[in-house]
Structure formats: structure tokens, C-alpha cells
């Protein structure tokens, strides 16, 4: 119950799916949570549910693709809770397409949210972690960051790049006791799946050893481990949470 006691954690994309499950699990484990989302109502709903359950949380209206929003999110966190110990770069979007069908705008938006968002949030959080003597950043990549998948050129490019970002952040800030790791989920039962064709979803589940999608809480447990001091010697690492999909 107290694996994150009194830690201050920002979770982006906390209004839905994995971000929501992570924010709630962190609060259950004693963290003070900032639920950030471009959909402010959903972020507020997550924060309200945490508070109603006896936890501590605030919501911010944040587009992680906009530097000013990320800076404000971190400022609001420090103003309310004094510091930032944990950042979960979770916000993400998915638009399917090939090099021929994906538009430039779709490519750019996925990169702004999935990749630049993780860069910007880290940029504004790290000085506070340095001042506090350390911290943990967890970036949500995907199995799409380690394999190719049909009609996923833009999404997979961002998720591969997130792994590069994680490794460089881990290296640059290891001396500051800031650990940075990536979680690579397989299929998770969240609203994001509405953007995947029924055929590809079926194929994905058929190619998963466990033959099912994850409940978001099953992936949030790995995020919790990496965010917590239990993972004190783990940095620059990838954690596949994919029901065996990439192992067969
Ligand atoms: N669902 C899956 O099968 C799956 C698999 C692997 C990885 N992932 C990754 O997990 C993460 C969470 O996805 P999910 O499945 O929970 O999706 P979701 O659609 O349920 O939730 C994503 C949340 O991010 C928010 N968001 C979108 N753009 C944003 C922005 N610019 N700024 C701030 N918030 C924004 C949305 O409003 C939403 O609340 C994503 O990075 C996704 O790529 C998901």
C-alpha cells in the first residue's frame, strides 16, 4: 500500500486507459498525483476519483506537444506538492497508415504527442529531480517500438524513437540519480484500440501467447515497479509487458 509513500508523481494522459490506471494505482500506493491530460474533464475525473478514495491529486489541462503547457504542468505540480519525484510519459495517440496513406499532419501530430511530449515533459521535470537528489521517469513505448507492424509506420517510428530517448536520458542523468526506463506493452484493453482495425487486432491477439489483451492495471503494475525505489538499479531498460507477443 505504501510503495510510493509521499512521492510526487506526474502522469500524462491520465484521463483514460493506462494513464488512468497508473494514476489510481500510484495514489493507492501513497503518491501525490498530478493527472495531466489534453482532455481536462477526464483528468479531473481521475483526480476526483483519487480524492474520493482518500488520496491526493490534482488535474492539469496539458497538451504534452506544447512546451508552454508542459512547463505550466510542472509549475502547478511544484506549487501544489513542492517537487516532482516521478514522471510517467504516457500520453499517446495512434493513427494507422502506410507511407502512402498516412498524411504529413498525422505523422507530425503523432510525433508531437508520442515523442516530443516525452522530451518536453522530461525537460521541465529534470531540474526539479536534480534539485531533489533524484527521481524516476517511465516512458510508455510499445511492442511497436521493437518490431515492425503493418500500416503502423508513424506510430512505430515514434515508439522506436521513445526507446532512444529513454536510453539517452538515462545516460545523461544517471549521475543525478535519475532513472529512466521504458515500458513496452502489447495489446491493452483501452479506448486507443478503436484506432486499430478489427483484423489487425485479431491478428495481434492470435499472435500473443496469452491470447488476450491486458487489463490496464496489469501494465500499471510494471510502471509502479519502475517508478518505485524497488527498481533502484534499473535504468535505460525496456520492459516488455506483452503476454508473450514478441517472444514467438
Ligand atoms: N492500448 C494499447 O494496446 C497500447 C499498447 C502499447 C502502448 N500503448 C501506449 O500506452 C499509452 C496510453 O495509451 P492508452 O491505450 O491508455 O490510450 P487512451 O486513448 O485510452 O488514453 C490516452 C490518453 O492520452 C490523452 N492524450 C492524447 N493526446 C494528448 C496530449 N497531446 N497531451 C496530453 N494528453 C493526451 C488522451 O486524452 C487520453 O486520455 C500510449 O502511449 C499508447 O501509445 C497502448
pLDDT in tens, 11-42: 999 999 999 999 999 999 999 999 999 999 99
Q: Whose CA is nearest to atom 24 of ligand 1?
A: 13
Nearest C-alpha neighbor of 27 from the set 67, 61, 56, 52 = 56
Q: Is the C-beta atom of 62 inside 6 A of ligand 1?
A: yes
Q: 48: CA distance to ligand 1 center in Å?
A: 20
1 pLDDT higher than 90: no
Is residue 166 over pLDDT 90?
yes
| pLDDT tens-digit map of 115-144 | 999 999 999 999 999 999 999 999 999 999
Q: Characterize 25-34 residue by residue with b for buried, 16 or more Cβ atoms within 10 angstroms of its Cβ, and e for exposed.
A: bbbbbebbbb
Give the position, in ligand 1's atom list, of the atom nearest the Cα of 42: 39
Distance, CA of 159 to CA of 92 (rounded, Å): 10
Helix (H) or strand (E) holding 203: helix 198-206
* For residues 156-170, average pLDDT: 99
Handedness of CA 37, 42, 45, 50 (dihedral sign): negative
Cell numbers 496513406: residue: 101
Strands (DSSP E) along 62-177, which ranges?
86-89, 135-140
Confidence of residue 81 (pLDDT cuts 50, 70, 90): very high
Nearest-atom number in ligand 1 for the CA of 140 is: 41
pLDDT at 184: 98
Query: What is d(CA 92, CA 201) in angstroms, rounded to the nearest whole number?
Result: 18
Q: Which of 127, 140, 144, 128 has its CA nearest to residue 224?
A: 140
Q: Is 235 in the pocket of ligand 1 (CB under 6 A)?
A: no
User: Residues, the chain, total?
Assistant: 248
Gap between the Cα atoms of 129 and 131, Å rounded = 5
Residue 34 φ/ψ, nearest 5 degrees = -110, 115
Q: How far is the CA of 92 from the centre of ligand 1 (A)?
A: 4
Computed on alpha carbons and rounded to an integer, the radius of gyration of the chain in Å comes to 17
Query: Per-residue confidence at 93, pLDDT binned at 50, 70, 90?
Result: very high
Q: Is the CB of 169 under 6 A from ligand 1?
A: no
Report the predicted TM-score, pTM, of the whole model to 2 decimal places. Answer: 0.99
Is 130 in contact with 178 (CB distance < 8 Å)?
Answer: yes
What is the whole-number distance in angstroms between the Cα of residue 178 and the centre of ligand 1? 24
230-233 contacts at long range (C-beta below 8 A, 24 or more positions apart)? 230/3, 231/136, 231/179, 231/181, 232/179
Q: What is the pLDDT of residue 35?
A: 99
Please name the residue whose Cα sits nearest to atom 23 of ligand 1.
13
Q: Give, as one character, the DSSP assignment of residue 147.
A: S
Average model confidence (pLDDT) across the chain: 98
168 pLDDT above the threshold of 90:
yes
CA 175–ligand 1 middle distance (angstroms):
31
Query: Domain 8-241 sits in which CATH superfamily?
Result: NAD(P)-binding Rossmann-like Domain (3.40.50.720)
The beta-strand segments (E) located in 124-236 are 135-140, 178-185
Cα–Cα distance measured from residue 115 to residue 102, given in angstroms and rounded to the nearest whole number: 17
Instruction: Categorize the per-residue pLDDT at 87 as very low, low, confident or very high, splitting at 50, 70 and 90.
Output: very high
Q: Is the CB of 69 under 6 A from ligand 1?
A: no
In the annotation, is 155 catalytic? yes
Parallel/antiparallel/unpaired status of strands 56-61 and 86-89: unpaired
pLDDT at 11 (0 to 100): 99
Catalytic residue among 26, 119, 124, 155: 155
pLDDT for res 127: 98
Report the alpha-carbon distance of residue 233 to residue 102 in Å, rounded.
Answer: 40
Q: Is 42 in the pocket of ligand 1 (CB under 6 A)?
A: yes
Amino acid at each position: 500500500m505504501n510503495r510510493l509513500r509521499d512521492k510526487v508523481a506526474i502522469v500524462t494522459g491520465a484521463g483514460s486507459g493506462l494513464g488512468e490506471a497508473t494514476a489510481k494505482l500510484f495514489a493507492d500506493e501513497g503518491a501525490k498525483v498530478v493527472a495531466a491530460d489534453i482532455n481536462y474533464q477526464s483528468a479531473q475525473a481521475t483526480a476526483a476519483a483519487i480524492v474520493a478514495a482518500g488520496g491526493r491529486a490534482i488535474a492539469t489541462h496539458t497538451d504534452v506537444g506544447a512546451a508552454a503547457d508542459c512547463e505550466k504542468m510542472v509549475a502547478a505540480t511544484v506549487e501544489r506538492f513542492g517537487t516532482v519525484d516521478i514522471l510517467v510519459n504516457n500520453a499517446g495517440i495512434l493513427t494507422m497508415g502506410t507511407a502512402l496513406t498516412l498524411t504529413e499532419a498525422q505523422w507530425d501530430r503523432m510525433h508531437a504527442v508520442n515523442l516530443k511530449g516525452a522530451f518536453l515533459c522530461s525537460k521541465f521535470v529534470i531540474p526539479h529531480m536534480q534539485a531533489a537528489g533524484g527521481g524516476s521517469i517511465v516512458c510508455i513505448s510499445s511492442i511497436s517500438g521493437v518490431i515492425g507492424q503493418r500500416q503502423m509506420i508513424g506510430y512505430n517510428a515514434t515508439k522506436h524513437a521513445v526507446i532512444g530517448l529513454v536510453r539517452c536520458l538515462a545516460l545523461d542523468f544517471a549521475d543525478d540519480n535519475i532513472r529512466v526506463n521504458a515500458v513496452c506493452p502489447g495489446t491493452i484493453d483501452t479506448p486507443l484500440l478503436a484506432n486499430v482495425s478489427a483484423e489487425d487486432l485479431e491478428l495481434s491477439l492470435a499472435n500473443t501467447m496469452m491470447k488476450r489483451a491486458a487489463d490496464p492495471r496489469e501494465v500499471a503494475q510494471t510502471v509502479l515497479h519502475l517508478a518505485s525505489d524497488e527498481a533502484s538499479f534499473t535504468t535505460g531498460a525496456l520492459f516488455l509487458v506483452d503476454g508473450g507477443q514478441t517472444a514467438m
